[in-house]
Each structure stands twice: as structure tokens, then as C-alpha cells.
Amino acid sequence: MSKDPIKITIGLGFAGVLALMGLISFISLSQMNTTTEQMTALLEQTNAKISAANTMRDSIRLRGETLYNMYLTDDFIERDELRIQIAEHALRYKVARDVLYSFHMSAREAKLLDQLMKQTRSAKALNDTTAENMLSDLPRNIIINDLRLANTARLNMLTGLDELVLLQETNTSTIIEETRQEKETIGHIILFLSLAAFFIAVYIAQLVIRETSRKNFEIHFQATHDELTKLVNRKEFNHRLMDAFKTARENQQHHALCFLDLDNFKTINDSCGHKAGDKLLIQLTRLIKKNIRSHDTLARIGGDEFGLLLEGCSLDKAIELAEGIVNLVKNYEFVWQHKKFHVGVSIGLAMITNETKSIETALSYADIACYAAKDMGRNQVQIHGLDDERIKNMQKELSWVADINNVKSKDRFSLFLQAIEDLKDGHTASKYEVLLRLNDDGKIISPGSYIPVAERFNLMGDVDKWVIEKTFKHLAGLYSSAPDCDVLLFINISANSLTDQKFADFVIQQYKKHNIAHDAVCLEISESKAVKNLHQTAELITTLRRYNIKFSLDDFGIGITSFSYLKNLPVDYLKIDGHIIKNISQSTADKAMVAAISEVGRVMNIETIAKHVENIFTLNQLKEMGINYAQGFYLEKPREINRRIDSIKESLLKRSVRH
């Protein structure tokens, strides 16, 4: 017998079905016996009714005979004794009638008994009257007339009782015949169904067992492979990585792990649609599979990201295969609707040896190397562990970010505020952007160098929470000193927070914890991240806007479809991308873009903020185009948050003194 658990389960299941059918048959037969017993009880009840009716009929006859005997005798004493017998017969009648009434009656029976009850009252009255008259001195003709009337009443009662008895006999015969037919029919049906179920179950069992192997393979394939490319999926890839990790530990084998990330794939998706992107993925994966070894594993682990496990492979051979894949993809010409496209691939390579700490470590190394390959120009292979300074720096920065909640690492991070100036009235700034800085032995590390890769490794969520908590503490201190201040702080949040279902709850908890006004904070989301996570962004905005929390779209204007997303994202501010702002003096297109954004913001009641304002000429042009706010080094450089808060307090104090 096959040891396949699915086949065993199916076999046992059908055995259970057969056993159940046998049990059903047994229960059905038992039910038939119960029905028979019920019919027997009903017949006994019917016989009891007939017996009671016969007793009533005998009592009526005896009462009539006794009344006639009273008429025949001239002895008054004997007549009185016979009158007592009539009362005894009436009592027997009443007892039998009460027995009859104690049983359940059909509609027909109830009607007959109702008629009989009326006749009984009439006959009793006539009998009693006739008997009393016989004991009196009434004329003979009156007594004879009474006898005649009483006799007629008795005959009517006997006729009714005869009809009732006949009805009971008819019911009895009908019940017996119906019970017999029902038992016979049920027996045939049960036998037929049992045989049919048996043969059907046997047939299905054979059919299912025969098909199980094929279906089992299909189910396993679907569970372990990507639906589009038919490559191994992430789950199965991790399983094979674990096997490779064990052989590296136990048998001193060397394996190579590669992360592949297609370059410029998004361009094809955006310009030609997802159907074209899917077609390209299928073609490229087929091409790559033809140029790797048969026992190597190529897996799709994301949209345009792939994993490659080269088992039993040296570093030199792995580099050779990876470089070959880069050349294949780079030289591949994709044609869609008579248009030609070229993409590239960045590959990160990490070796799995007996010194590899864990699968997670190997995955992290390959992913960092892949990101470094993209950062260093794309279309190339980067190998982890070859002392590349860029990879080392990236690892160091990631370690700082990952260690954000470690007490020893907190001094590496600091918060700054940069003022956002109102271009309409020129009042003292009340809006500031919160900026995060990473310190490396006195050297300030730009967020642009570590935030993208930190987001890739899902590390920025904790950083966002750290920034929010620190900012709220500073705000709480400011509000305690100046409860009426109208400061609004813009806080950037990462893509990791957008996809974190608990992030909104965290923000609300921090508001309650520090007891600050909800409208004191505006969460700032990069347009590209918002568009990439449109559903999550809209859901986050909808949830937090119930608490009067504001939102801003950062780096707005980069995408060619920027305006189309605004109707789905109810934001309060648009921060125009700094590259566009820098070029409005030299580029009429950028200037037109800024003017268009200003007009759209005005129509949709969304205020606009220009970033990276670096000279007076740019500032004046922004004012002319109706931009609401501006920030940049020309207006003010970022200042450390403690100093900025102190400055705000002083400004508020001076204002209160003047007033």
C-alpha cells in the first residue's frame, strides 16, 4: 500500500463513507421498527376505542331492554328496581364514554362523538322521563308514546356508535396496509441506496486514488512556484537555502547566493503596462535558466527581484555565471508593439560556507551587495566580502540604523529643524521640517545615503517611531511653556511605516501620551513612496485625519502622473521637488510645472511649499507664481532642535510682552 499520506487519507475517508452508509441503513431499519411499534400502539388505541364504543352500545341496548321490562311488569317495587338498573347501565355508558374521550380523536371521530353527545343528552332525558312516568299514574297511552320516543333516541345512538366502530375498523385496516407498504418501500429504497452508495464509493475511490498523484504534484508545484514565471517562489527558495546551509556546515561544501534586481524594468511597466512587464519577465527567466546549470535554483522573490542558488559552486565559477547573466540581460532586446527596449540587471553575490552564521546573514549580504551594484552604476556584479569600501560603509550605516533603540547608539542620531517661511505675509515662521542626522565621529551622514537601503531592509520603521517620539517630547515641552503656540512640525515617514498596520495606532498613542494638539504635526510622505503604496497611504491618511492630523506630499512633481493621484490622497500640503525649484530660472518647463502645481493646489485647496530655495531670484519667482511657503538654505539653515525650540520660546515670550 502507498505511504502517500493523501492517498491514505482518501482511503480512510471512503472507508468512513461506507461505514457511515451502513450506519445510516442500520438507523433507518431501527426507525422502521420504531414506526412499527408506533403503529402497534395506534392499533391498540383503536381497539380500545372500539371496545369502549361496544360497551356504550351494550349499555344502550340493556337500558332499552330494562326500560321495556319496566313497562311489562305491574309490580311497582320491581319497576323501581329496574329503574335502578337503568341508572347502572347509564353509569357504565358514561364510564365507557369517558374512556373514549381520553384518546386522541380525528376530525371525523370528533364530529361523530359530538353528535353522539347531543343524542345522549336527549336519550337520557327521554329514558329518565319514561321511567319516572312508569312509576306514576299517568295514562298508558302517554307511557307508550314515551317508550316509542326513547326507543327512537336509542336507535339513533346505536346508529352513531355503529358508524364510529365501523370508522375505527376502517382506520385500523388502512393503518395496517399503509404500514406494510411503507415498510416494504423503505426497505427497497434503503437496499437500493446502500448498493448504489457502495458501488459509487468504490468507483470514486479508485478514480481519486488514480488522480491523486497528478493532483498532488500540481498542488505542490503551485505552493512552491511563482504563478507567472513558474520559477521557485521565495518560500521554496528559503527551504533550498536551508538545505544548502546544512551541507555547507556538515560537508564543508561551498555554495553561492545571488540576488538579481532588474534595472529599468519599471520604465517598461509604466510606459507599456503590466502585461508587457509580465511578458518580459517570462522571457528573461527562460533565457537565464538556459544559461545556468541544471541543478542551480532560480527563484522569483519579488516583482522584478530574483534569487539564484548555485550549489557546489566556487567563487570564480559563481562570478563567471553572474557576469554571463549580466551580459545576457544587457544584450537582450525586448520588442513590444513594434518598440524595442533594453533592461539591465544588478547582481549581489555572497558565498555560503561553513563560516556563514545563518541563512538570514547570507541573504542580507547578497541583498546589500545587490544594492551596492545598483548604487555603483547598475548592470554589474558586486561580491560581498571583497573589501569594497562602499559595501563596508553601507553595512556600517545599516548597523547604526538597525541599532536605533540601543542606548549606546542614540548619540549617533540627532534632530534638526528647518523653518518654512510664509510667502504671503512674511510673518515669523511657525512651520518647521524635522530633519534626522546621523553622526559618524563628528561627520554628518546624509539621510539619502542610508535611508533607501534601510527601507529595503525594513529598518526605517523603528527610526520613524524614534523620530516621532523624540519630536513629540520636544513639542510637549514647548506646549507646557507656551500653550497657545501655533507651531506645526513636518515629520518625514518612510515606506516601511506606510506598510506597517500598527503605525497609525502608534502615532495616536504618542499624541495621547504627550498630550499635544493633533494639528501640531504634519506627516510628510514622499510622492514616489505614496504612489507605490497608494492603498496603504490612503488608508493611513483616512485613519489619522479623523484626529485632525495633517499630511504633506514630499518631492511632488517628479512623476509624470503626479496630479492624477491627488484625488485619492486628501493631503494638506504639496512640497514641490527641490530639483524642479532649482531649475526654474533656467528651465521654462520646470517653471511651467511649478506654476501648474500652484494652480492645482489653489483649485484643490492644497497649500504648496517650495524646497531648496537657494537665491533671491528663485524666491521672487515663487512669490509671483502664488506658492504659499518656501524653505531652503537661502532662507535659513537647519538648526539643532533644542536650540530651535528655545528660540521659539523666546520669540513667543517677546510677542506676549509686546501685547
Tell me, what amino acid is at 362? A
CA-to-CA separations, 217 to 70, 294, 300, 646, in angstroms, rounded: 103, 20, 20, 69
Question: What is the C-alpha separation between 304 and 131, in angstroms, rounded?
Answer: 116
Those residues with Cβ within 8 angstroms of residue 339's Cβ, 6 or more apart along the chain or in another chain: 272
Q: 544-580 in b/e burial notation, b at 16+ Cβ within 10 A?
A: beeeebbbbbbbbbeeeebeebbeebebbbbbbbbeb
Q: How far is CA 118 from the centre of its chain?
A: 72
Which one is catalytic: 304, 367, 464, 500?
Answer: 304
Bridge partners (DSSP) listed for residue 383 = 349
Q: How many C-beta atoms lie closer than 10 Å to residue 264's C-beta?
A: 15
Question: What is the C-alpha separation between 607 and 571, in angstroms, rounded?
Answer: 9
Tell me if 347 sits within 8 A of 382, measured CB to CB: yes
Residue at grid coordinates 525649484: 581
Query: Active site includes 304?
Result: yes
Burial of 44 (0-12, 13-18, 19+ CB in 10 A): exposed
Alpha helix (H) residue ranges in 432-502: 447-456, 460-481, 495-498
Q: Where are the domains of the chain?
A: 5-203, 234-386, 399-658
| Confidence at residue 581, expressed as pLDDT on a 0 to 100 scale | 92
C-alpha cell at 439: 553622526
Q: Is 634 helix (H, G, I), strand (E, B) or coil?
A: coil
Residue at grid coordinates 565621529: 441
CATH topology for the 399-658 domain? TIM Barrel (3.20.20)
Identify which of 574, 551, 578, 579 has the alpha carbon closest to the alpha carbon of residue 562.
574
Question: What is the C-alpha separation between 174 and 182, in angstroms, rounded?
Answer: 12
Q: Is 253 helix (H, G, I), strand (E, B) or coil?
A: coil
Catalogue the long-range contacts made by 510-515 (C-beta closer than 8 Å, 24 or more residues apart): 510/468, 510/469, 510/472, 511/472, 511/547, 513/472, 514/472, 514/473, 514/475, 514/476, 515/476, 515/479
Q: How many C-beta atoms lie closer than 10 Å to residue 380's C-beta?
A: 18
Residue at grid coordinates 550549489: 311
Q: Looking at domain 5-203, does it have CATH number 3.20.20.140?
A: no
Those residues with Cβ within 8 angstroms of residue 494's Cβ, 6 or more apart along the chain or in another chain: 451, 454, 455, 460, 461, 463, 464, 529
For every residue of 487-534, DSSP letters joined together read -EEEEEE-HHHHT-TTHHHHHHHHHHHHT--GGGEEEEEEHHHHHHTH
C-alpha cell at 355: 563560516
Residue at grid coordinates 385496516: 173
pTM, entire model: 0.55
Question: What is the C-alpha separation between 305 and 263, in angstroms, rounded?
Answer: 10
E strand map for 597-658? 607-610, 629-630, 639-640
Q: Which residues of the chain are modeled with pLDDT < 70? A: 1-25, 27-32, 35, 38, 187, 193, 197, 200, 386-411, 426-429, 441, 449, 453, 457, 518, 559-563, 655-659
Which CATH code fits 234-386? 3.30.70.270
Q: 113-137 in b/e burial notation, b at 16+ Cβ within 10 A?
A: beebeebbebbbebbbebbebbeee
Phi and psi at 439, nearest 5°, equal -100, 130
CA-to-CA separations, 454 to 346, 366, 413, 449, in angstroms, rounded: 18, 15, 15, 9
Tell me if 496 sits within 8 A of 524, measured CB to CB: no
**To 10 degrees, what angle do helices 359-375 and 389-402 make?**
120
Identify which of 410, 417, 411, 421 has the alpha carbon closest to the alpha carbon of residue 462.
410
Tell me if 580 sits within 8 A of 588, measured CB to CB: no
Tell me which H or E stretch contains 389. Answer: helix 389-402
Q: How many C-beta atoms lie closer than 10 Å to residue 317's C-beta?
A: 14
Those residues with Cβ within 8 angstroms of residue 553's Cβ, 6 or more apart along the chain or in another chain: 524, 525, 526, 527, 530, 566, 569, 571, 573, 574, 575
Q: How far is CA 485 from the centre of its chain?
A: 44
Tell me if 49 sits within 8 A of 168, measured CB to CB: yes
Radius of gyration of the chain (CA): 50
Bridge partners (DSSP) listed for residue 63 = none
| Confidence at residue 507, expressed as pLDDT on a 0 to 100 scale | 93
Is the alpha carbon torsion for 547, 516, 473, 657 positive or negative?
positive
| Confidence at residue 73, expressed as pLDDT on a 0 to 100 scale | 79
C-alpha cell at 638: 537647519
Tell me if 398 sits within 8 A of 291, measured CB to CB: no
C-alpha cell at 171: 382506520
Bridge partners (DSSP) listed for residue 489 = 432, 521
Question: What is the C-alpha separation between 546 and 541, in angstroms, rounded?
Answer: 9
Tell me, what amino acid is at 372? A
